[in-house]
Amino acid sequence: MIRLVSLAALVGLWQFGAWVSDPRRLPGPLAVFDAILAEARSGALFSNMGITLARVAASFLLAMSLGAAIGYLMGRRRLVDKLLDPWLVVLLNLPALVVIVLAYVWAGLTEAAAIGAVALNKLPNAIVVIREGARALDPRLEEMAQAFRFSRGARLKHLVLPQLAPYFAAATRSGLSLVWKIVLVVELLGRSNGVGFEINMAFQLFDMKLLLAYALPFVALMLGVETLLVQPLERYVARWRRGVA
């Protein structure tokens, strides 16, 4: 309920902004909605969204699973941390453009290069967040697990993951949006389809309506995923917290 009211307020603000400014600079919700419908009818929206989502999903899964594993190791093992930390800092601060261009130059203008470049951009962020989580693990519970000879699986499932949950939540939320943004850049520089490609065309024409028509469906999708999937799941996973008092 509150969620809907808040969303309505946001749309209202947007409408207001469109009224007071030039509609060419900030087209209103209705105009954008029309444009979305038009793109949807032509099928272009779905095919582009589909391909972009596939890229987002692939690079996110790649970066997140690798990042979680490396981040956990770096958080737990001092030596690994010391060894990999400089690489991490470098990767973290290398401009996306550099990584993307190098990937395209080396691996060709291919799908693999695109997805790899995005994953490589997101990887250090996942590592950094999960590493902090791994460092903050409670050593008293760790000892308990050791005393009771927890299996590797049980340790992961019952000890580590629940403690990393908030870090995963943070890394996933900000990571998914980061991946989506980098996919847009990658598509802009060297792919022939996808939302980023369309957004760039709209941008070249300075067609804000079309630009928003391609940018917003993903936002709407994420809103839906948050409301219907992530937040109920999160509430379930964190239900033990209510009790702690």
Partner 1 sequence: MSPDGAAASLDVAIIAKDHRRANGPALRALEDLRLTLPMGQAGAVVGPSGCGKTTLLRLIAGLDRDFTGHVALPAHGRLGMVFQEPRLLPWRSVADNIRIAAPEAHAEEIAALLAELGLADHADHFPGELSLGLARRVALARALAVKPDLLLLDEPLVSLDAPLARELRDRIAALIDEKRITTLVVTHDLPEAIALADRIFLLSPRPAHVVATLDVPAPRSRLTKDAADELETRARAALTAARKAVQ
Partner 2 sequence: EKLRLALQKTGTTGWELAVVRAFGLDKDAGLELEVTELAAPEAGKIAIQGGSADIIVSDWLWVARERAQGAKLALFPYSTGVGAVMTKDPAIRSVRDLAGKKLGVAGGPLDKSWLLLKAHALKQGVDLEKSATILYGAPPLIAEKALQGELDAALEFWNFAADLEGKGFTRAIEISDVEKALGAKGDVVITGYVFDDAFAAKNRDALARFFAMTSKAKALIASDDRAWAAAAQRIGPKDAATLAIYRKRYVAGVPKRSVAQEEADASALYRVLAEIGGEKLVGPGKTLDPGTFYKGGEAGAH
Ligand X SMILES: Nc1ncnc2c1ncn2[C@@H]1O[C@H](COP(=O)(O)OP(=O)(O)OP(=O)(O)O)[C@@H](O)[C@H]1O
DSSP 115-143: HHHHHHHHHHHHHHHHHHHHHT--HHHHH
Binding to partner 1, residues 127-166 (CB under 8 A): 140-141, 143-144, 146-151, 154, 158-159, 162
Binding to ligand X, residues 225-244 (CB under 6 A): 243
Considering the complex, state which of residue 86 and residue 139 has its C-beta at the smaller distance from partner 1: 139
Contact flag: residue 54 with its own copies (CB under 8 A): no
Which residues make Cβ contacts (< 8 Å) with residue 193, sequence separation at least 6?
Answer: 47, 48, 51, 187
Binds 132: which of partner 1, ligand X, its own copies, none (CB < 5-8 Å by kind):
its own copies
Considering the complex, state which of residue 153 and residue 169 has its C-beta at the smaller distance from its own copies: 169
Of the residues 188, 212, 213, 215, which one makes contact with partner 2 according to CB under 8 A: 188
Considering the complex, state which of residue 30 and residue 85 has its C-beta at the smaller distance from its own copies: 85
User: In this chain, which stretch among 7-15, 61-69, 88-96, 193-201 interacts with partner 2, using CB under 8 A?
Assistant: 193-201
Sign of CA dihedral 141, 142, 148, 154: positive
Contact 207, 150 (CB under 8 A): no
Which residues make Cβ contacts (< 8 Å) with residue 91, sequence separation at least 6?
Answer: 120, 123, 124
